[in-house]
Structure 1
């Protein structure tokens, strides 16, 4: 099994880290105001700084702080039908992105990645497209309600708006790294983050991955990558999970990767196991076929199940059992399957636990991969804009 990274991150804000005055006065009157592009950039920069100021095991805090300084490449606003910003996507020259809400009645950070790219101006993969649609509809719904923002939401905006407090946090982290043995025996309450990643492969559906798929002329198409059918998101998600488990033993897992026959063979066999349908615009399979495919074709445990999305179950699969999950969702006749393999949660002494994020591996050669707010699947406690969002859990060896 691939290496599992489970890191409990502790942020020492100040000796009185739980005191609200660290983040300036609370002003709820303007919490529903539109967030400007400049403010969104500040929020993203401050989020990156607080994330980088956290100590990781076996790693120098100063080295981490230095390595995580990023230069903004582009800030792209996404607007509603009347031109009002809904959220901003901030990308960085060094890689990585942060998606910031343009509405102060929602949590400020909708998604982020330290390393992945978020290409702007290209057609989004289905799973990403539907998630961003959910954010859009959730924000519009909250604006229409004109409700008072949740207290935790207000505090989180205040925390990330206060650049001076963030600078002090970073300096304290550097000081702590220089004097690691000066911590009190019983320190005061400290804000903390739980960050879990299972590190699944950044594989895709097109060229090289599809080198064993049917030739395009066998189903009346032309112009497809490599002259062959796409692997399909279901086959790619299954292959990524099997690569994580290094099972079954009939494959040489040491040779897996791009431009490798063994990877393409795994993709084709996964497609066969779910009776993949090949079309000119993509390849598709029914989500109900995933579990039988794992069990009957690849010898995985019969305990695997396909059922409705449940955040608690997914969290347990990732943080307790160390197993990636496959998610499926559909809307307006299109659907997608992808891998969920990470969990992020922030705890504030003053605000409690904020809405967790899940790490999504979209199966698009690493692009768009990152932590996405779970509100995208049940926007702010409201309607789910996917149809029949489901999960495949307990995917493990027999």
Structure 2
């Protein structure tokens, strides 16, 4: 068995001289235009640029990736520094951006914007007509007036006093609650659940940021949470409210096995915990629904990811959300969205810098391959009697092998060996299942299990690679058809064989080994869809993973892995590079109203 760290680091890409940069003066005029729709008639909008992401480590002469402007009287807006990117990256109609005391999770999110802009500049990207229209002052001005959206308005809590009153002193410094515990507690306060808890949290050991070994003792949970007597914020509270909220925070921090650390006068150190612990601990100790699950953004298209987040908010479920930069992980709460596709983020710092932010500076459908180190906990709500989410098993490309392959023999002979690996359990619960290679048809119907099942129990973050001898009889061989494939699957007790997939952005790697190597664009049986459907863009029947893929919809480049199309007949084209040779695949589909 093997174990891996789940953090995948994205290196910054050097800027290119070919992209068009946005000057500070142009950004300022757009910031004024943004707020002008809500300004008092006849009154000028005054803004001040307070941060452009640059510091002493930034190379001299490097163009800013973004500009943050505070509005006189309250509010801020973030304008992109690159006109091939989405123009408005974030905003709030109230408060101000605390540029002189930027918190780590806020900086981590803005670092994502910087990496995206650096990527655009590195490839010399130019704005198309759609993006140019978005950059018009009139379009910027209409952002605040666009209808739609919902905000769940979670409490603006933080990590220090009064929330950390029960947290221990570590290495001579008062520790804080940590961003993970604070985010989870904000969600719990929204649901006001549970009412009472029982049980004992186990002790655990960890190394502090200063290198000392510390043991957090076991902790009794028996208590009733008085939700109505917890503070709304840190600025006005009673002693009773302080004790109630600090009890909740400490319980959750210990439950998540947080590494408590103190914070010095320079903001160094801090308490940390793993997002992967949220679901199992909340289900086991806090009576939250078993259907909750931690999802990884890299496994979804930008379109699908945005719709998942919106569905959670529409369902009244704010989400603990994690984003990683090159140094550490950060947790916060996503609790709303607006009519422009931006999401409301509660950073967990007493309301500082809360606002609506773009989940990407790339427009949906842009032709980019970019990895995001982000997760969201969905389905986090009081116990509804739900069933656990299906196992989250997928191949992990960075281990050197990913997906399925033919090791020896030939399929035509009926005797061969297939390999699957490295596959990992990224879910919150152990996976106790049989694993085997299965022959499926084009529609994923099981035709035959071709290998002796291998029984394994995979804990969280545990994985394996297996070689399995496979056999096909003479009758099996005679019945093979185009679209048939060998797929490595798992089967839970009483369940069905289910494919293990390579995540959307993993290259190289395939999860299906076709009987006939003839790549094509995957469609349903009739190549017909409805306008409400999200249509996957996927290549199938290929024995090797393409080194690059470019999609076109009706002649226009499209870079996401899924699309929703207007009614009519559409032409899907894909230029895929296999073994240093480009192959063009074309498929026509029909979309009904």
TM-score, length-normalised on structure 1?
0.71
Q: Distance in 1 between matches of 2:347 and 2:117?
A: 23
Partner residue in 1 for 2:172: 221
Q: Which runs of 5+ in 2 are unaligned?
A: 1-17, 196-223, 263-268, 298-304, 384-593
| 1:385 positional shift | 5.6
Is 1:77 the counterpart of 2:52? The answer is yes
8 Å contact 2:86–2:362 — kept in the other structure?
no
Higher relative contact order (CA 8 A, sep 6+): 1
Q: 1:44 aligns with which of 17, 20, 31?
A: 31
8 Å contact 1:378–1:384 — kept in the other structure?
no
Structure 1 residues 269, 115: CA separation in 2 closer, same or farther (over 3 Å shift)?
same
8 Å contact 1:73–1:92 — kept in the other structure?
yes
Is 1:306 the counterpart of 2:252? The answer is no
Q: Following superposition of structure 1 onto structure 2, how do residues 8-47 of structure 1 map, counting pairs within 5 Å?
A: 33-47=20-34
Q: 2:228 aligns with which of 243, 254, 263?
A: 254
Structure 1 residues 312, 142: CA separation in 2 closer, same or farther (over 3 Å shift)?
same
8 Å contact 2:344–2:355 — kept in the other structure?
yes
More strand by share: 2
Q: Which runs of 5+ in 1 are unaligned?
A: 1-30, 54-64, 174-190, 223-227, 347-355
Partner residue in 1 for 2:113: 135
Partner residue in 2 for 1:269: 251
Structure 1 residues 294, 145: CA separation in 2 closer, same or farther (over 3 Å shift)?
same
TM-score, length-normalised on structure 2?
0.49
8 Å contact 2:108–2:330 — kept in the other structure?
no
| 1:84 positional shift | 1.8
> In angstroms, what is the RMSD of aligned CA positions?
2.8
Partner residue in 2 for 1:364: 349
| 1:78 positional shift | 3.6
Offset from partner CA, 1:128-152 (integer Å, 9 cap, x none): 2221111112112212222331322
Q: Distance in 2 between matches of 1:329 and 1:197?
A: 21
Structure 1 residues 384, 304: CA separation in 2 closer, same or farther (over 3 Å shift)?
same
SS at match of 1:235: helix
8 Å contact 1:134–1:385 — kept in the other structure?
no
Structure 1 residues 381, 357: CA separation in 2 closer, same or farther (over 3 Å shift)?
farther
Partner residue in 1 for 2:261: 279
8 Å contact 2:68–2:78 — kept in the other structure?
yes
Structure 1 residues 332, 204: CA separation in 2 closer, same or farther (over 3 Å shift)?
same
Q: Following superposition of structure 1 onto structure 2, how do residues 1-398 of structure 1 map, counting pairs within 5 Å?
A: 33-50=20-37, 52=38, 71-79=46-54, 81=59, 82-122=61-101, 124-160=102-138, 192-214=146-168, 216=169, 219-222=170-173, 228-249=174-195, 250-257=224-231, 258=234, 259=237, 260-280=242-262, 281-309=269-297, 310-318=305-313, 320-346=314-340, 356-375=341-360, 382-384=368-370, 386-387=372-373, 389-398=374-383
Offset from partner CA, 1:167-206 (integer Å, 9 cap, x none): xx89xx9xxxxxxxxxxxxxxxxx8432221101111001
| 1:85 positional shift | 2.5
Structure 1 residues 103, 343: CA separation in 2 closer, same or farther (over 3 Å shift)?
same
8 Å contact 2:117–2:361 — kept in the other structure?
no
Q: Distance in 1 between matches of 2:193 and 2:63?
A: 49
Q: Distance in 1 between matches of 2:367 and 2:346?
A: 24
8 Å contact 1:105–1:148 — kept in the other structure?
yes
SS at match of 2:339: strand
| 1:397 positional shift | 1.2
SS at match of 1:277: coil
SS at match of 1:337: strand
Q: Distance in 1 between matches of 2:320 and 2:362?
A: 14
SS at match of 1:301: coil
| 1:44 positional shift | 1.2
Partner residue in 2 for 1:4: none
Offset from partner CA, 1:10-62 (integer Å, 9 cap, x none): xxxxxxxxxxxxxxxxxxxxx95432222212211211233x38xxxxxxxxx
Structure 1 residues 47, 229: CA separation in 2 closer, same or farther (over 3 Å shift)?
same
More helix by share: 1
SS at match of 2:271: strand
- Which has the greater radius of gyration? 2
